[in-house]
Structure 1
Amino acid sequence: MPERPHHKPMPRWSGFFDEVEGGADPAVVREAADRAAAVLVRGAGGTADPAVAERLLHLADTEGIETIAEVWAGAPADSLAGCLWRLFLLRSWVHREPVRAAREYDAGRRHAEVAEVVAGVADPPGPDELRAMVDAVLRGIAGSEFADVLLRASAFARVVAAGRAAMTEPSHDDVRRVLGLAEQLEAAAHLELAGRLS
């Protein structure tokens, strides 16, 4: 019987199996995130089914805001994925800190009157009213024009930013962040109106 040639075993190095199992291509992950966002916004938009709106509304509750962050947090503000991240982040903040949100919104109303009207919060704007408003905005993904959803969320954030700025000793970084969020959502709404948001 002929002797079989001896094969040297493949060398192993630390992290080899990590590369095999965890080697998701970031471009593929980003593409999947973009597709998921498009399905949620474009697939649900205009539906009359309230169950779809409720599922969208509670997506962060059922999946966790951290899971949503993993998928969409790095997306540009002028993309569907980036818009969804900002909308869910805004809702999460209002539900986590409704008293602070109500206080800042109330303080900003007289400084951003037009934005207050667009946001559509009941008067007086208490914690329950703000939670109801932000939930209604997110339900709108399934039942209204996405540009309207973005404009309402932007207006709400603009009033909050004005409130933060008007309150004693505001943190300029905090005001800038919320105002930046408002401006990003408004810019995305204009892209959506022009048919260029994807």
Structure 2
Amino acid sequence: MQPLTEVVSRTVVLRERNIDTDQIIPARFLTTTERKGLGKHAFNDWRSLPDGSPNPEFPFNRAENIGARILVAGRNFGCGSSREHAPWALTDLGLRAVISAEIADIFRSNALKSGLLPIVLDEAIVDELLEQPGVELRIDVAQRSVTLPDGRRVQFPLDAFAQTCLLEGVDQLGFLLKQSPAISQFEQQRQTQEFRHAS
């Protein structure tokens, strides 16, 4: 996982509400535990027309959205099943942050473990962004803030542990492994103390 300290990018917008994880990555693409390559299937059934050709109206198929790293979506993003493949597909697509007025709890947890930053903002601000696709935003993970196109800076909630993991580019297991020297030192000190008491 790459450290995530800042995201400066144009936005790509999906105005739909209640975008569930089966729409993000349809179940038929869940036959792998590899993250790489899932991005090509993200929003698969929306990106393609019935004949299999690309839907030119779908935002992720439009040339102006190539390289966008911030998705702004309608309320209740990531609802449905708990599949980890959903944030994997979005990160493989190139996204580093999702902004919505409401993000499903399980999706939010899986996203943070995958290096994808789920940001919940006030609905009025999200509505503004939904009506202005392609604007540039600056996300500062250390400050937990989003700088809007007009210069306003708004805060978003992010717990301290998740923030640390994002800034250091580690998941929960990676964070624990980084503590190995301190854990080993503690165990050694404890064994020494127990030996002294036993003597």
More helix by share: 1
Mark yes or no: TM-score above 0.5: no
More strand by share: 2
Give the alignment's TM-score, normalised by structure 2.
0.29
Larger Rg: 1
